[in-house]
Amino acid sequence: MKVLIAGGAGYIGSTVASACSDAGITPVVLDNLVTGRREFAQGRAFHEGDIADGPLIDRIFAEHPDIEAVVHCAALIVVPDSVADPVGYYRANVAKSLEFAGHLLRNGCTRMIFSSSASIYAAGADLTVDEDSPVDPQSPYARTKAVCEAMFADIAATQPLRVLSLRYFNPIGADPKLRTGLQLRRPSHALGKMIQAQEEGVPFRVTGTGYPTRDGSGIRDYVHVWDLAAAHVAALGAFDDVLPEAGSTAVNLGTGTGTTVRELLDAFNEVVDTSVPSVDAEARPGDNAGAYTRSDRAERLLGWRPRYSLAEGIRHSLEWAAVREDVLGGPA
């Protein structure tokens, strides 16, 4: 089986590509390298360019006529950046995805796995969600994902493109073999900030402390990126069973365990040798209380359940941070 992975030189896309290779699935990588890294595509069929570039997509399918599915991971993903630049985010995540869908239809592609986000949900009073929970995205980034899902559902209702949206919760960790990980030296999410604080010997800033959680900090469902990648492999294998006919559906990918930011710091400090203290700070633009999944749909439809623990995700993130510059050839 051969699969086109759009955004396949980014953090999640490259990890999905590795999981596919390990499972005997041949990845073909497409990435414009705005945030992805060329190093993550080494040894794979790689096409540098944009998902909206019709002639490029046509050439990829001409060179690889045996592509059976597309994994669409190409997107900008930083919430505060989306607040500052909504035009750029809607252009990159929505407008280009619409163009991409048209190019896939023209080339006879009938299967798409779409990287969506659990940030589209309106969490219930207990901060849990399932696939039928109301959608109420709280940032431009989250809205781009909700708009794309609705757009793809409209397309799949009448066109021969079936779409399985995988709604990620909060990825952590790295490829356990350390082939790939977070490409950014200074990522914006909580675990990345903890690693940065440890490296610099400064307190970690808990951004937002007045949320309706057990300790006031935001709550998240931290899922190991290798478990996410394994879910994509499972989804590729189960695709025709999940969507035997035209249409679209969505599946949550999370652990089912809610971890607050303060609890994440406690877990982090149990893994590292030198504990990192914390200070309270104001919430960042676009942040919210968060949520975690209560759904078992991924196990029922895909036969998938997460294997890695929170501590293993933290440990793999630290191991990747230690080798990142060696793998990528310097800071970025």
184 backbone φψ class: left, alpha, beta (φ>0; ψ -120 to 50): beta
Distance CA 213, CA 28 (A): 42
What tokens were used for 169? 């919760």
Q: Tell me what percent of the chain is helix, strand and coil, each rounded to the nearest 5.
A: 40, 20, 40
Look up residue 109 and give its two tokens.
Answer: 């592609």
Task: Work out whether the CA dihedral 153, 138, 81, 201 comes out positive or negative.
Answer: negative
Give the three-class secondary structure for 64. coil
Q: From 122, 101, 121, select the one nearest 110 (Cα to Cα).
A: 101
Annotation marks residue 141 as catalytic = yes
46 vs 5: CA distance, rounded Å = 10
Dump strand ranges (E) for the chain: 2-6, 26-31, 45-48, 67-72, 111-117, 128-129, 162-168, 170-172, 204-207, 219-220, 222-224, 248-253, 259-260, 278-281, 292-293
Query: Out of 141, 168, 211, 308, which one is annotated catalytic?
Result: 141
Crossing angle (nearest 10°) for helices 96-106 and 140-158: 20
Enumerate the active-site residues. 141
